[in-house]
A and B are shown apart, each in its own frame.
Chain A
Amino acid sequence: MAAKITVRDLTMAYGDLIIMKDLNFEIDDKDIFVIIGSSGCGKSTLLRHLIGLQEPTKGSIHFGEENFTAIDPDERRAFMRRFGVMYQSGALWSSLTLGENISMLLEEAGTWEASTVRDLVAYKLALVGLSGFEDFYPAQISGGMKKRAAIARAMALDPDILFLDEPSSGLDPLSSRRLDELILGLRDSQKSTIVIVTHELASIFSIATKALFLDTATKTQGAIGPPCELRDHSSNPAVRLFLNRGSLSKATSS
């Protein structure tokens, strides 16, 4: 299924406090799309809008031809089944083991042989380097491991679109690198579209096909395009600065 996402004139606000306004962008099928911007600029909020947890104050979000903001709850839920989401905090269900966290989704999606479920769970956990942790509860593992388990859960149903909120924060360099490979692999093998909120510049340049920069100063999108191009040729100095890891002296001079 095509998973092109179109965002039109999106304005996000908490009451009177406007977070971002007039966002217009497209995420193409099989894109690895990163959302960047300084902390507190509304990246996670944008993600919550994309997955339908928060209603836009203005504007709309389209998946393919369908207006996601206007459809009725049942249709929306059907759409949401095509998503895989990893929250910033992991948000693993704390009363379930890692295995159950994943198997619950599988069991919800259809009737499977118990052995199939077991194998799928083991496979998903192995992908994130957590083989053998099926029976651990989220409280029994470290923060980075929780993050990886949450990624495994997000991938459980081979989603058309995978949303990851800061997947690599709190991961060691090797796990973070593995994650990049995993994301590329998912895109290539399952034709998934992947939307990532991240600060990891190395991984942005190596895997992202498109980047959206949210500018806190103007409260709207600062630039959009392939990250390497933005870094070297963006007309917006704030974007170049961000992607070049600008030092403070450069920031004040520009």
Chain B
Amino acid sequence: MNSKTSRMTTLTHPPPTADWQQDGKEMTLELAGDWRREGPSVKVSGKVLDKNPTRYGLSSLGFYDSTLPAFLLAHFRRVSASAKDKKELPPLDGLPDQLRGLLVLALAVPEESVLSLPTDAGSTREKLGRMTMHFFNKVQAFLEFTGLTALSLLRLCTGRARFRTSDFWLVLQQCGVEALPIVALISFLIGLILAFVGNVQLTHFGANLYVADLVGIAMVREMGVVMTAIIMSGRTGAAFAAHIGSMKSNEEIDALRTFGFNPIDFLVLPRLLALVLMMPILTIYANVIGIFGGMVVGSFVGIPPELYWHETLASLDMTTSSLGVIKSVFFGATIAMSGCMMGMQSGKSSAAVGEATTQAVVASITAIVVLDSAFAAIFTLLEI
């Protein structure tokens, strides 16, 4: 057909037309012109009824590609949608053999009309309802997942939960050692920034030595743990969601289940434990690097490192230093849980895995900030 097309492009193409002619009971569909994808769309004339043609007029029909059978099929479908007898086949006699063969194939299996997959279409009210349902489903799913994880932790305590220890070590490495460089870079820069900003303000009062206090307290109370948590959300939480999500789409989780493994024990526990274990360590590391960043700035603005160090130690006591570390345990659990949960609840397509990853990161960062505010309120009430 290709060679035919190319030969014909050199000629002029009469535009495709379809003319309906009614003559008593006879209904003739006069087809003419060249039916080409690249050409103009079909001009329909005459009165179009919801009836199948009884005869075809093809005397001036030129070249045709898929546009002609598509046009005919669309008409047949329209007719059968309004007809009582859906099984009745339209008359195809008189059409060229090739065309008839294709239409017979296309009409062999009737259009599935009972199929009603859930769609997003509908009125605003319907959409609002669906969104509300969706929200409550999410809440329910979250509670269910938390419960299942709690049960799994309980099984771990009684020694009945089983997972591969090598998985645990692998995750420990991924969210521990491998995260060190990025955590170091970010906290160093955060310490640097805090010191710069603090120095500019404190110099007004001739109190720029207190930069050390500012950086030290800000790092160990808030910045160290929050920045680490955000890095880990983007790095590890997303990885958990993507990994578990793709396992789900590949039926690997079903396979675990059928072979008698509990997917929560097997996939969630090692990740949760590893992150809860690693987050405090990473936080302490981030705190130290951040203070070092401040010290670098300090040495440029006239605070000798010895003095800076002394001032930092004087401003930090054990309680203050432990606040961030305590928070980091909760943040670690939050990141692991939201990553694993979004992965477990992911759909089965690759797009759904991407969506699950996004949701995991968004959910854990939101949860971290909310939790941090809650901690701030609690610590204020406790006057720490």
- Residues of A in contact with B (beta carbons under 8 Å apart): 15-17, 48, 51-53, 77, 80-81, 83, 85, 87-89, 91-95, 104-105, 108, 248, 251-252
* A89 x B108 contact (CB < 8 A): no
* B108 x A252 contact (CB < 8 A): yes
- Pull 23 A–B residue pairs with CB atoms less than 8 Å apart, ordered by A: A16-B116, A17-B115, A17-B116, A48-B254, A52-B258, A53-B254, A53-B257, A77-B260, A80-B258, A80-B259, A83-B258, A85-B258, A85-B259, A89-B250, A92-B252, A93-B256, A94-B247, A104-B164, A108-B259, A108-B260, A248-B104, A248-B108, A252-B108
Q: Does B49 contact A (CB under 8 A)?
A: no
With A53-B254, A92-B252, A94-B250 as known contacts, state yes or no: A17 contacts B117, CB within 8 Å.
Answer: yes
Q: In the complex, how many angstroms separate the beta carbon of A6 from the nearest chain B beta carbon?
A: 20
Q: Does B206 contact A (CB under 8 A)?
A: no
Residue-wise interface mask of B (96-114) relative to A, using a CB-CB cutoff of 8 A (1 in contact, 0 not): 0000000011001000000
- Name B260's contact: one of A15, A80, A94 (CB within 8 Å): A80
Closest A residue to B170 by CB, please name it: A95
Q: Does B162 contact A (CB under 8 A)?
A: yes
Interface residues on B, range: 20 to 34
* A51 x B258 contact (CB < 8 A): yes
* A105 x B259 contact (CB < 8 A): yes
Q: Does B255 contact A (CB under 8 A)?
A: yes
Q: In the complex, how many angstroms separate the beta carbon of B113 from the nearest chain A beta carbon?
A: 13
Taken together as a complex, chains A and B put the C-alpha atoms of A251 and B162 apart, in Å, by 53
Tell me which residues across on chain B come within 8 A of A17, comparing CB atoms: 115-117
* A91 x B250 contact (CB < 8 A): yes
* B251 x A87 contact (CB < 8 A): yes
Extra inter-chain contacts (19) besides given A48-B254, A52-B258, A94-B247, CB under 8 Å: A51-B258, A53-B257, A77-B260, A80-B257, A80-B259, A83-B258, A85-B255, A89-B250, A91-B255, A92-B252, A92-B255, A93-B255, A95-B243, A104-B164, A108-B259, A248-B104, A251-B108, A252-B104, A252-B108
Q: Is the interface of B mostly helix, strand, loop or mixed?
A: helix
Tell me which residues across on chain A come within 8 A of B257, comparing CB atoms: 53, 80
* A94 x B108 contact (CB < 8 A): no
- Name B261's contact: one of A15, A87, A92, A108 (CB within 8 Å): A108
Tell me which residues across on chain B come within 8 A of A94, comparing CB atoms: 246-247, 250, 252
Nearest 8 CB-CB pairings of A with B: A91-B251, A91-B255, A85-B258, A87-B251, A81-B260, A91-B252, A89-B251, A93-B252
* B254 x A87 contact (CB < 8 A): yes
Q: In the complex, how many angstroms separate the beta carbon of A249 from the nearest chain B beta carbon?
A: 8
Tell me which residues across on chain B come within 8 A of A53, comparing CB atoms: 254, 257-258
Tell me which residues across on chain B come within 8 A of A51, comparing CB atoms: 258
Taken together as a complex, chains A and B put the C-alpha atoms of A105 and B252 apart, in Å, by 14
* A15 x B118 contact (CB < 8 A): yes
Interface residues in B56-108 (C-beta closer than 8 Å to A)? 104-105, 108
Taken together as a complex, chains A and B put the C-alpha atoms of A80 and B162 apart, in Å, by 17
Tell me which residues across on chain B come within 8 A of A92, comparing CB atoms: 252, 255
Tell me which residues across on chain A come within 8 A of B254, comparing CB atoms: 48, 53, 87, 91
Q: In the complex, how many angstroms separate the beta carbon of B368 from the nearest chain A beta carbon?
A: 27
